[in-house]
Amino acid sequence: MSRLQPLRPARLRHGQHFTRPRIRHLAVHRGISTPQLHQLCHQRHHLIPTGIEILICLFDHDHLSLKRLPVPRPPTRTQLIQEAVRRLSQQHPQCPVFSVARSPLKDPEDYLVGQSVVFSAEALLRGRGDILHGRRACVIGFGKIGSSVARLLHAKYLQVTVYDTDAVRMTQALAQGFRTASSSTDALAGAGVVICATGNLALRADDFARLANGAYVASVTSADDELELAGLDVLYDRSPAGDHIARYATTGHYFYVLNDGNAVNFLHGASVGVFIYLIQAEILAATAALAAGHPEPGLHQCDDDTRKFIAATWLQVFNGAP
Ligand SMILES: NC(=O)c1ccc[n+]([C@@H]2O[C@H](COP(=O)([O-])OP(=O)(O)OC[C@H]3O[C@@H](n4cnc5c(N)ncnc54)[C@H](O)[C@@H]3O)[C@@H](O)[C@H]2O)c1
């Protein structure tokens, strides 16, 4: 085992890679011969970027098998925010803090974001002469955005499979008529379009190998937060395949990633029209409450009456407005 030390993560310097042919070989064969091990052990500078799973070699009778050793990943931005909010609510902040994150006035925006995601994904596909119809869809994350995405895809007559790590969300998806999958692997099987709406690394490096040939992958948030694309360059050749579409290909497998894995709807302005004013008005109402100095230290939300007043005012101005 001492000769394997150069492969261990502690010895790896960030950003260096195994050679592409070597990774391909390891990934495809999942086992290497003794002469190859000797060769590998002498390649002290073939390292793996953070986030990908490292393969370590173990003796198994007369050949060597490979075992996966996960490298700790830095938290995503969404995870950092969730952790900060969790701490904030537990620690009882020393000053008043207003949250509008879960306001019902944000629901219209979230719903319309989901619709804009499908619009943009479809526009990109059509831009290269392809269409959504006839493809099976997979939506990962059935939260506010993902559920809206799933509904629009369903309305376009696509067969939609949903996967969410939260069992409650899965029951909601089932009740709304979606097929659910018990794992992301099952969800991806046969899907021709995959939309990731978790903000929490829906697709990790290994998952890409499970994509159907020719599948399109889109995200609703920053690529870093949703797709572990960093390690793919060592396994796949990446080439442009239309406006804002990248084709990843290796022997016998290829798929497409939209907008470099970033929120696809940002390509078309992510517009939600005048509905954005609802939550902006609630932010102003919260700011006014803070400025008036009324609230005690701690986490606050605007009350129902304030929200109803904002909604009623919005309706007076915008209902029926072009
Ligand atoms: N593109 C845009 O215009 C836009 C607008 C608003 C929000 N967003 C982003 O969209 C993302 C989703 O937002 P939301 O409001 O729907 O969040 P949400 O919390 O309502 O939903 C996320 C869902 O994903 C599930 N989930 C988390 N990790 C998962 C995993 N690894 N695999 C499967 N399911 C998982 C959660 O259980 C949850 O049901 C966030 O990152 C948010 O920042 C994008």
**CA 150 to ligand 1 center in whole angstroms:** 13
- 3-class SS of residue 32: strand
Say if 80 falls within a structural domain: no
Q: Are residues 168 and 238 in the same domain?
A: yes
pLDDT at 53: 42
Query: Rounded to whole angstroms, how far apart are CA atoms 200 and 208?
Result: 16
Same domain, 225 and 310: no
Q: Is residue 234 part of a domain?
A: yes
Q: What distance in angstroms lies between residue 143's CA and the mean position of ligand 1's atoms?
A: 6
Domain assignment of residue 305, given as a range: 91-103+271-318
Q: Ligand 1 mean position to 247 CA, how many Å?
A: 25
Task: Report pLDDT for 297.
Answer: 86
* Whether residue 166 sits in one domain with residue 204: yes
From the DSSP assignment, how many helices (H) and strands (E) are in the chain?
A: 11, 13
> H-helix or E-strand containing 97?
strand 96-98
Nearest residue (by CA) to ligand 1, atom 33, is 164
- State the distance from the centre of ligand 1 to the C-alpha of 52, rounded, in angstroms: 22
Same domain, 174 and 185: yes
pLDDT of 70: 54
Residues 303 and 183 placed together within one structural domain of the fold: no
- Report the atom number in ligand 1 closest to the C-alpha of 145: 16
* β-strands 63-70, 253-258 pairing: unpaired
Q: Which residue has the tokens 């018990």?
A: 182
Q: Tell how far the Cα of 319 is from the centroid of ligand 1, in angstroms.
A: 29
CA 110 to ligand 1: nearest atom: 6
The pLDDT assigned to 4 comes to 37
In a domain? residue 75: no
Q: Is the CB of 142 under 6 A from ligand 1?
A: yes
pLDDT at residue 211, rounded to an integer: 97
Claim to verify: residue 58 and residue 97 sit in the same structural domain: no
Residue 162, both tokens = 């949903």
- Indicate whether 124 and 226 sit together in one domain: yes
Grouping H, G, I as helix, E, B as strand and the rest as coil, residue 30 is: coil
Alpha carbon separation from 166 to 26, 27, 90, 223 (Å, rounded): 34, 31, 22, 22
Q: What is the CATH number of the domain that holds 206?
A: 3.40.50.720
**Ligand 1 pocket member 115 (CB < 6 A):** no
Query: Can you tell me which atom of ligand 1 is nearest the CA of 144?
Result: 16
Fill in the amino acid letter for 49: P
Query: How many CB atoms are closer than 10 A to CB 5?
Result: 11
Residue 303's contacts (CB-CB under 8 Å, 6 or more residues apart) are none
Are residues 28 and 61 both part of a single domain? yes
pLDDT score for 131 = 97
> CA–CA separation, 318 vs 177, rounded Å?
33
Stated pTM of the model: 0.77
Q: For the chain, how many structural domains are there in total?
A: 3
CA distance 17 to 47: 4
Specify the pLDDT at position 293: 84
Judge whether 205 and 245 are in contact, CB under 8 Å.
no
pLDDT in the model for residue 38: 47
Instruction: Give the pLDDT confidence score for residue 215 in this predicted structure.
Output: 98
User: Is any atom of ligand 1 closer than 6 Å to the C-beta of 200?
Assistant: yes
**Is the C-beta atom of 113 inside 6 A of ligand 1?**
yes
Alpha-helical (H) ranges within 98-166 are 107-127, 144-155
Is position 34 within any domain? yes
Is residue 270 in contact with ligand 1, taking CB distance under 6 Å? yes
pLDDT in tens, 95-154: 888 999 889 999 999 999 999 999 999 999 999 999 999 999 999 999 999 999 999 999
The residue among 226, 247, 268 that closes a domain is 268
* Residue 78 falls inside a structural domain: no
pLDDT value of position 44: 38
Indicate whether residue 164 lines ligand 1 (CB < 6 A): yes
Sheet holding 245-250, edge to edge: 179-180, 159-163, 136-140, 193-196, 215-219, 253-258, 245-250, 237-240
Dist. CA 85 → ligand 1 center (Å): 15
What is the distance in A from the centroid of ligand 1 to the CA of 94? 29
Residue 64 lies in a domain: yes
Regarding whether 22 and 117 lie in a shared domain, the answer is no
In order of 116, 169, 217, the CA distances from 122 in angstroms are: 10, 25, 12
Flag residues of the chain having pLDDT under 50.
Answer: 1-20, 23, 25, 27-34, 37-38, 41-66
User: Same domain for 98 and 167?
Assistant: no
Is residue 12 in some structural domain? yes
Residues 207 and 220 in one domain: yes
163 with 202, same domain?
yes
pLDDT of residue 68: 52
- Please measure the distance between the N-terminal and C-terminal CA atoms of the chain and give it in whole angstroms: 71
How far is ligand 1, taken at its centre, from the CA of residue 159, in Å?
Answer: 21
Is residue 82 in some structural domain?
A: no
pLDDT value at position 86? 73
∠ CA 272-273-279, nearest 5°, is 70
Model pLDDT for residues 190-206, shown as the tens digit of each residue: 999 999 999 999 999 89
Six-digit token pair at 88? Answer: 């904030």
